[in-house]
Amino acid sequence: MILAYFVRFSKVFYPIFVRFSKVFLPIFVRFSKFLFGSQTVRPAQSLNSTPALLYNQNMHTVSEKRYSSMPYRRCGRSGLLLPAVSLGLWHNFGDTGVYSNMREIVLTAFDNGVTHFDLANNYGPPAGAAERNFGRLLHEELASYRDEIIVSTKAGYDMWGGPYGNWGSRKYLLASLDQSLSRLGLDYVDIFYHHRMDPDTPLEETMGALDQAVKSGKALYAGISNYDGAMMEKAAAILEKLNCPFVINQNKYSIFDRTIESNGLKDAAAKAGKGLIIFSPLAQGLLTDRYLNGIPADSRMRTDGRFLKDDALSEKRMEQIRTLNELAKGRGQTLAQMALAWILRDDSVTSVLVGASKADQLLDNIRCTANLSFSDEELSTINQASL
């Protein structure tokens, strides 16, 4: 009997309740916002799944001319194009940096056609800070342009304590990628690299981890960094069998450091149809006008001697730098612009990664693309001054 009355009651009053809710609930919400104000909610984790209404309403308005001058190059035989000049966040994007300066550098880069931003799990300091800071910038300023941006990250160097935070195991690479995505606030990165060769882990395991990263949707492409030619060929063969889109190698290369020519990587990448992106193209600042008259007190050599030490600037090296600087002047370029152009003159190179401590420095580097041609005499002078 009670059940019968309950059913009759529901049939009568439920439609009335639904109609009441549709009419008065929106009014109640608007009234609440009027009383208490509305707060801007920042996206917590995933940029891709966050509704547009949650984005920062005052985000940067990008330049409509951002694609007018930057050349874009294909990664080997893949469909992926990268800007000739990409921004590396190895330095200046850790917690020791100034966030407003990071913001200016990144936005200047994007406004001038730099669509590729390169990171690694251990970039900082402390490790992970560069990913976190860039993720914040991406959310606050460029969220609606995610599909116009290439984000890459890497794993392979020491990241956390214990046996699972280093090298190239499946355990480490996939855990690191998940952590990177969390710091970046992204569902996926465009390129995920293994950061260095691992002498102890089977290459099949490491490449299998890259393959899983792609097939799980957490990365679009696979890459490898700091491999030599022979190991790259083995890695490429494994990934080809797995139908994994391995598209790019990242290696050090400059007028002063030509290791990838002697270890076979440069030729092997071209032969295999893989892209090649260069880091340290300015030899940690030696190929700039920074050290023409000695070591400045505020230089990286003085403030952060981890990667560039005093003995790198011998009298012989100083003389080489001065000779190259005079050649650059004759070309109407700075030494840094000529050093970047020297790398980009080769069509097998997809992009050069430049760091920047300020936006003007980045703009000067981007101008290298205005003149990528070298005469035989200029190339001979460069070789004589550097080899």
Predicted TM-score (pTM) of this structure: 0.84
Closest C-alpha to 324, from 309, 341, 310:
341
Q: Please check whether residue 222 is in contact with residue 213, taking contact to mean a CB–CB distance below 8 angstroms.
A: yes
Q: Please check whether residue 70 is in contact with residue 57, taking contact to mean a CB–CB distance below 8 angstroms.
A: no
Q: DSSP class of residue 277?
A: E
pLDDT surpassing 90 at residue 302: no
More confident residue, 174 or 308: 174
Least confident of 18-22, 271-275, 327-331, 350-354: 18-22
Average pLDDT (40-56) is 40
pLDDT in tens, 191-227: 999 999 999 999 999 999 999 999 999 999 999 999 9
Q: Cα separation of 189 and 187, whole Å?
A: 7
| DSSP of 336-354 | HHHHHHHHHTSTT--EEEE
pLDDT surpassing 60 at residue 46: no
Torsion of CA 262, 264, 266, 268, to 10 degrees: 170
Report the relative pairing of strands 81-83 and 72-74 from DSSP bridges. antiparallel
Look up residue 213 and give its two tokens.
Answer: 């990263």
The per-residue pLDDT for 309 is 58
pLDDT in tens, 315-371: 899 999 999 999 999 999 999 999 999 999 999 999 999 999 999 999 999 999 999
Q: What is the band of 59 on the pLDDT scale with cuts at 50, 70, 90?
A: confident
Please report which helix (H) or strand (E) contains residue 364, including its range.
Answer: helix 359-366
Q: How far is CA 161 from CA 164, 165, 196, 375, in A?
A: 8, 6, 18, 51
pLDDT surpassing 80 at residue 101: yes
Least confident of 1-15, 29-43, 234-248, 307-321: 29-43
Please report which helix (H) or strand (E) contains residue 24, including its range.
Answer: helix 2-36
Q: Cα separation of 131 and 285, whole Å?
A: 23
Closest C-alpha to 114, from 373, 377, 335, 354:
354
Instruction: Evaluate the CA torsion angle 260, 265, 270, 271 in order and state its sign.
Output: positive
- Contacts with 310 (C-beta within 8 Å, 6 or more apart), sequence order: 295, 301
Instruction: Evaluate the CA torsion angle 226, 232, 236, 238 in order and state its sign.
Output: negative
